[in-house]
Amino acid sequence: MTALSPIYFWAFLSLIPLIGIYFLKVRPHRKSTTAYFLWEKIFQEKRTSSLFRRLRDVLSLLLMLLAFSAVVLALTNPQSTSDDRKDALILIDHSASMNATEQGTTRLARAKDIASEIVQAFNGTQRAAVATVAHDLVYRSHLTDNPRQLLDAIEEVDATDFAMRSELITNSFNEAAGRGDHRIILISDGCFGAADLPEGVELFKVGESQENVGIVAADARYLPGEVGQLAIYFQVASSHEEPVQAELLVSRLDDEGGSELLRLVPLDIQPGVNKSQVYKIENAEPGRWQIALDVEDALRADNVAYLAVERPRPVRVAVKSDDRFFFENSVVAFSGGGGLLQLTDQRPQIVLAKSTTPQAERSLIFQPQGESPFWSELGEELEEVAPRLLIEDHPALRFVDAMSMPFVGARRLKAPEGAQVWVASDEGVPLIYRTTAAGRTAIVVNMDPVAAEFYFSAWFPVLVHSTATHLAGREESLQATYPPNRVVTIPGLTTDTAVEVVDPQGEAQQTDGKSLRLRDLGFYETSNESGDWRIACSLLSSKDTMLDNAEVEDSSKPISRGWLPAQLLTMLAIVVLTGESLLYQRRKVG
């Protein structure tokens, strides 16, 4: 037993005046009687209580000494050395696997019950904080000993479809858990690989291994060279010990919420993660598709995969140059296959130009010449150019080795204010930069492609493709579906501005720039100048599907329950003072 505040032992000095007060006896009121002999008879009958009456004053002193001592000891805040009352962080796993149902209740509900029991066991005697962990670590309450705040925070924990990022726990608490000055209590099913938890993190295991099947991978693409032939790729997994027969329902969803069942695929699902399968569907229309396993099991979310099926949408590119041949070939080279670029003069999205400034909203300009809003102070050619990459790993140059490009014919010039210079010479002359002026955006490549023989370089079509898709906001092609918590760049946006997106619940929300973080399973929809876009989100997590925590062991330590020694001493003091008050009451009013 140690006292956290030993300074209060000095308060024992208060016993001295207490004893002094005790010896200042109060003389009882003198009452005269004419029938003293009658009183004598009465108190002769009560002789048994006279001993108590004589000892009452001593007892009163002892009670007061005991009460004062208890209060003083309570002030010193004694702690048992064997008592593991440390500040605690209650981590609640609310990943997708916690939505698995066992005996009519989800693991998350059970985890919240356990968290509430822990808080109630603390009984306001220990400080704790509540946090949730899945794709992210979110603190739900401050460190407090207020049970109400903690219980409210636990109550507000909601289910998610995110997979657990176990590295969050490792990175966040590896050092803190090792210090041992507080407890980290993780309430989880441990399906994320809890064996790798830091040693100081206690795991309250929730739930046991469940039999479950689910889709762990999915994709859908139109096959190149085929008209309307859609290939659906999927992979299923099973935690059953025996093979399971199931059917895969392939449906197309309409805008009104209805669905059209297009294919029913019988599956013989083997234990573990099965081999991937591909099914082709002829004359498939683009739109919202869904593949679903027709089974009833512990986790429903992984029985469905949502697929956003889109036909290829090429970026329309026009050429404004005397050297049309090389520019057009560079576009045509990327018009097959995925169909990313399309050479056209009709409503072009991107204009390729040389030695001129096109009146287009987005343009790629080689060899700047003459007056242009995209440069100024155009001077003589640079004799020797040593390119220097100013922005590493820029998306527009990710497939280009800019350092090996021959910037022959590059001229001194000054990029407009606010221009984003990607490559510059040693002297600081911009060689490749992106700038916006008068509502138009251009990527300027400061070189003479003819003199540099850049048309014959392999980097030329690559640079055209990269910069064109960058200007169109189409660097990344959309996948048919994404797992939750994935950040997706909304295609067709050239500026990093917030847009409105309708989430799977049908509610409109504003994105954080042109990036969208997927939180719910289903379809997100948005529109911009490049068209309507759908983004699908499916669970696709083999760890969550397998629900396997058989090898995970509960490492939780007992929770210190009940009252603190200081509280017990305070209670003792109250009880003793109550007894003393009864004695006082008896002295005063009998």
In the complex, the smallest distance separating the C-beta of residue 75 from another protein, rounded to whole angstroms, is: 33
Token pair belonging to 571: 């209670």
Identify the residue among 23, 27, 48, 458 touching another protein (CB under 8 A). 27
Close Cβ partners of 300 (under 8 Å, ≥ 6 residues apart): 99
DSSP secondary structure of 363-395: EEEES--S-BTTBBS--PBPSS---EESSTT-G
Answer for which of 17, 20, 24, 30 binds another protein (CB under 8 A) is 30
Interactions with another protein, residue window 49-68 (CB under 8 A) = 53
Q: Least Å distance between CB 45 and another protein? A: 8
* Angstrom distance (rounded) from CA 289 to CA 459: 38
Which residue from 47, 179, 275, 588 is in contact with another protein, where contact means CB under 8 A?
588
Please report whether residue 227 would count as binding another protein according to CB under 8 A: no
Q: Using CB under 8 A, which of 7, 17, 31, 242 touches another protein?
A: 31
Indicate the residue among 517 and 586 with the shorter CB distance to another protein: 586
Give the binding range for another protein (CB under 8 A) out of 82-90, 527-535, 566-574, 580-588: 580-588
CA angle at 537 for the pair 535 and 539, rounded to the nearest 5°: 165
Nearer of residues 34 and 404 to another protein, judged by Cβ: 34
| 82 near another protein, judged by CB under 8 A | no
Question: Is residue 34 part of the contact set for another protein (CB under 8 A)?
Answer: yes
The verdict on 563 binding another protein (CB under 8 A) reads no
β-sheet bridge partners, residue 204: 187
Piece of the chain touching another protein by CB under 8 A; list 27-35, 347-355, 429-437, 494-502: 27-35
Among 43, 139, 399, 563, binds another protein (CB under 8 A): 43
* Cα angle 385, 389, 392; round to 5: 170
Residue 41 in the binding site for another protein (CB under 8 A): yes
Q: Is residue 38 a contact residue for another protein (CB under 8 A)?
A: yes
Nearest CA to 391 among 362, 416, 414, 420? Answer: 420
Q: What are residue 501's phi and psi, to 5 degrees?
A: -125, 135
**Using rule CB under 8 A, residue 47 touches another protein:** no
- Going by C-alpha positions, the residue among 26, 14, 185 that lies closest to residue 91 is 185
Give the range of 25-33, 158-166, 264-272, 408-416 binding another protein by CB under 8 A.
Answer: 25-33
Among the listed residues 17, 20, 28, 370, the single contact to another protein using CB under 8 A: 28
Nearer to another protein, 41 or 311 (CB): 41
**Exposed e or buried b for every residue in 363-402, given b needs 16+ CB within 10 A?**
bbbbbbeeebebbeeeeeebeebebebbbeebebbeebeb
Which is nearer to another protein, 23 or 456 (by Cβ)?
23
Q: Which tokens sit at 112? A: 């919240």
- How far apart, in Å, are the Cα atoms of 469 and each of 104, 358, 374, 565? 51, 18, 20, 70
CA 405/CA 426 separation, integer angstroms: 14
Stretch that binds another protein, among 37-45, 163-171, 242-250, 556-564 (CB under 8 A): 37-45
Q: How many residues bind another protein (CB under 8 A)?
A: 24
Applying CB under 8 A, does 42 fall inside the site for another protein?
Answer: yes
Query: Is the Cβ of residue 56 or residue 414 nearer to another protein in the bound state?
Result: 56
Phi, psi of 347 (to 5 degrees): 40, 60
Among 35, 51, 227, 458, binds another protein (CB under 8 A): 35
Count CB-CB contacts under 10 A for residue 539: 29
**Minimum CB–partner distance for residue 582 and another protein (Å):** 12
Tokens of 246: 């199931």
What is the smallest separation between the CB atom of 575 and another protein, expressed in angstroms? 23
Among 7, 29, 82, 456, binds another protein (CB under 8 A): 29
Asked whether the beta carbons of 308 and 288 are under 8 A apart, the reply is yes
23 touches another protein (CB under 8 A):
no
Q: Which two tokens stand for residue 362?
A: 């987005």
> Burial letters for 478-497: b for 16+ Cβ neighbours within 10 Å, e otherwise?
bbbbbbbbbebbbbbbbeee
Give the range of 30-38, 130-138, 330-338, 445-453 binding another protein by CB under 8 A.
30-38
Q: For binding to another protein (CB under 8 A), which residues are involved?
A: 27-43, 46, 53, 586-590
